[in-house]
Structure 1
Amino acid sequence: MRRYRRTLVATALMATLVSGTAGWAAGSGQRAVDGPPPGTAAWRDDASFGRALPDPASATPAQVAAFFGTLSATKRRELTERHPSVVGNLDGAPVQLRYRANELAIAKDPRYSRLAEPGRQILAFDPRGRGTVAEVYGDLLTSRHVAVVVPGSDIDAGTYDRSKDPYGTPAGMATSLRAATDGRTAVVAWAGYTTPVGVGMDAATGGLAEVGARRLARFTEGLTAAGARTPALFCHSYGSVVCGLAASEVAASDIVAVGSPGMRADSADALRTDARVWAAKDPSDWISKVPNVEFLGLGHGPDPAAKSFGARRVPARTAHGHTGYFAPGTDSLRAFASIATGGDVR
């Protein structure tokens, strides 16, 4: 009974924190973008190849990769130009084709014209809802190491590379991590799921993370099917909830929880993954004020940075605040670079 009362008190405290910070309504009610990409109906109806094209809703990334392996360069180009929205989001499709397809798709949407600037490598782009996007920094196919940054709340196609508070964005985290590895790691800024807005019910529950986890697992499977190395995942804030739910299915060498409210698991072992599991939390991070409980769907469970959770600890003494972990010169970033290149942290 005493433990039950403590849980109720912690849950009430979480509600107070959330409502006092942003209000339940302000951070609630996001509809997760899911399912096959725009243009799928036309793709399914395309009979010009004399056979059915792989269904974006059911074909595995390995099946997609095998299909493209049967096509000539000319046929690949024709398919890309005819169905850019599908090819650009089709996990397992050749990386260079996806870059070209998304360039074509973005050109049709002036809201995101900056994403079509020369030199950008957009691996996924979906304008539905607030928009999802993934961008690659470095050469995904020749790099010996690959990392994927999974962000938390308030990130979408319009904000994932904003200049304000850059190390709180997946683009800023990705570029900083790549620089810290001296360019030895290709890093993907993956804003590939619908994130919570503000700090409210969406952030305190796991609905958006469940959809994000499915999308992340498929995305990483698509990387390996296309010929990239198995990635290390760097999961910030609510993104660590996504990674926790995806852990048993995702293709990853390492899973790093950064400033995490919990991973919806009682321990590192409960994640049921062969990946190395890490956790970082700096003393000034406000996320420490969020109770580490999960009760009736509210909250995300134990703190991954707690010794009892069983994750490997990442030093974060010189990081500052909730978005300072990837700032140049921090002990956390140095540790992240070692993890991303297959090393250890001492």
Structure 2
Amino acid sequence: MVRKRRLAQAIGLVLISVLGAGGWVVGNGEAAVTTPPPGAAAWRADHSLSRSLPDPASASPAAVARLFASLTDAQQRELAQRHPLTVGNLDGAPVRLRYQANFLAIKAEKAARERDGRSAEGYAGFLRPGRQILAFDPRGRGQIVEVYGDMAAARRTAVVVPGSDSDLGSFDRAGDPYGTPSRMARALHTKMAQKAPGTPTAVIAWSGYTTPVGLGPDAATGRLAEAGAPRLNRLLAGLDATGVPAPTVLCHSYGSVLCGVAAPAMAPGTASDLVFLGSPGTRADTAAGLHTTARVWAARDATDWIADIPHTRLLGLGHGTDPTDPAYGARRVSADRAEGHTGYFAPGTDSLDNFADITLGAYAAVRCAADHQECRRDLV
């Protein structure tokens, strides 16, 4: 009887944490987008090069990279023009070719929506000169990935993985100046340029998976993280296949759940560092439990409400140990002067400085969360 009562109390604690944080979102949950975008069938059927093209659903990024390396520039452009949605989302394809393909795909989707009387709000912004769209998928709530900086020249790179409510429509949202994927990535790229003006850098804002909406059932389970994790790992493998240096992967909020799920399957050397910030848990009890070759870091500011949720897992709810708990074993860094759950990339914060220093490999400059310098052990 005592064990049953304790179990009921624990279940109630998890439920109360989610309800109290903002309430359950009514509905059947988000449908995860995991398959290649429309056009994959036409791509597979294209034999214009007198050879089979790599299957977008199963070919490795390394195989994709080998195909494009064997083509002339003209052949690459022809494929991008005929199959913009496929080439634009094909990990392992040349980065600049993907930018060109996604410009065509976004332009076509904008025109189709206007013809059909559907909203095309925001699409014009993605077509502005200078934007570098690495992936674009209009299905569902939409997914988009953007690069800040010169990926071809970069010696230091980062990937920002956002949490709930991140999608095509919110990517450029103006109301949260440092909480959207685009603004987090821009802020980090700017800070890195300030700290190391002679070092070529690039930051990817990766809104490339179906995220939870609000703080409902999807946010309390790992279902969407499990669906999105292979997409993150394909991105990292694609960067590696095209010669991009292994990035620091910064995982915010529910994004840290996805990174925790993805970590054991990350190919060794495709991520240099994993940084969990504002995390509800990573679905691993310890940093060692992630089974990753990447260095593992964690940050949480004193005003972040995420600290108030129970960091536990029970009956599929919750995401486990707080990565800022010393027992977890991550390298804990300061987030002083950050405010709330979405303030980690604001200028003037310890967290933004630390994220830039970690990405730049300037470990001696990293400020640890504790008074002693345990977060820099074995690095300086």
TM-score interval, normalised by the smaller of the two chains: over 0.9
Q: CA separation of 1:316/1:45 partners in 2, compared to 1, >3 Å: closer, same or farther? A: same
Structure 2 equivalent of residue 210 of structure 1 = 226
The alignment covers a number of residue pairs equal to 346
Query: Which digits, 9 at most, give the CA deviation of each residue in 1:220-275, with x for residues without a partner?
Result: 11011112111100000000000001112232100000000000000000000010
Q: Give the 5 Å matches for 1:38-187.
A: 38-110=38-110, 111=120, 112-182=123-193, 184=199, 185-187=201-203
**1:136 partner SS:** strand
39 and 289 in structure 1: CA distance in 2 versus 1, 3 angstrom threshold: same
User: 2 CA distance for matches of 1:226 and 1:107?
Assistant: 26
Helix, strand or coil at the partner of 1:235: strand
Aligned position for 1:331: 350
Q: Deviations over 1:98-143 (max 9, x none)?
A: 0000000000122222111110000000001000010000001211
Q: Which residue of 2 is the match for residue 225 of structure 1?
A: 241
Gaps of 5+ in 1: none
Deviation string 1:45-81 (CA, Å, 9 cap, x unpaired) is 1111111101001110000000001101111111000
Normalising to structure 2: TM-score of the pair? 0.88
Give the structure-1-normalised TM-score: 0.96
Question: How many angstroms does 1:161 deviate by?
Answer: 1.9
Q: Counterpart amino acid of 1:44?
A: R
1:193, distance to aligned residue in structure 2 (A): 0.1
In 2, the alpha carbon distance for the partners of 1:248 and 1:18 equals 27
Question: What is the letter of the counterpart of residue 171 of structure 2?
Answer: Y
Q: Which moved more, 1:248-257 or 1:307-316?
A: 248-257
Secondary structure of the structure 1 residue equivalent to 2:203: strand
2:371 match: none
**For residue 23 of structure 2, what is the aligned residue in structure 1?**
23
Q: CA deviation at 1:36?
A: 1.6
Spell out the pairing of 1:179-328 with structure 2 (5 A cutoff). 179-182=190-193, 184=199, 185-250=201-266, 251-328=270-347
Pair 1:3–1:229, CA change in 2 (3 A): farther
1:343 aligns with 2:362: yes
Structure 2 gap ranges (5+)? 111-119, 368-380
Among the aligned pairs, what percent are the same residue?
59
Distance 1:105 1:334, change over 3 A: same
Change (3 A) 1:151 1:109: same
Q: CA deviation at 1:21?
A: 4.3
Structure 1 residue 6, shift from structure 2 partner: 5.1
- Report the alpha carbon displacement of residue 28 of structure 1 after superposing the two structures with TM: 5.3
Report the aligned-residue RMSD. Answer: 1.5
Whole-angstrom CA distance in 2 between matches of 1:252 and 1:232: 6
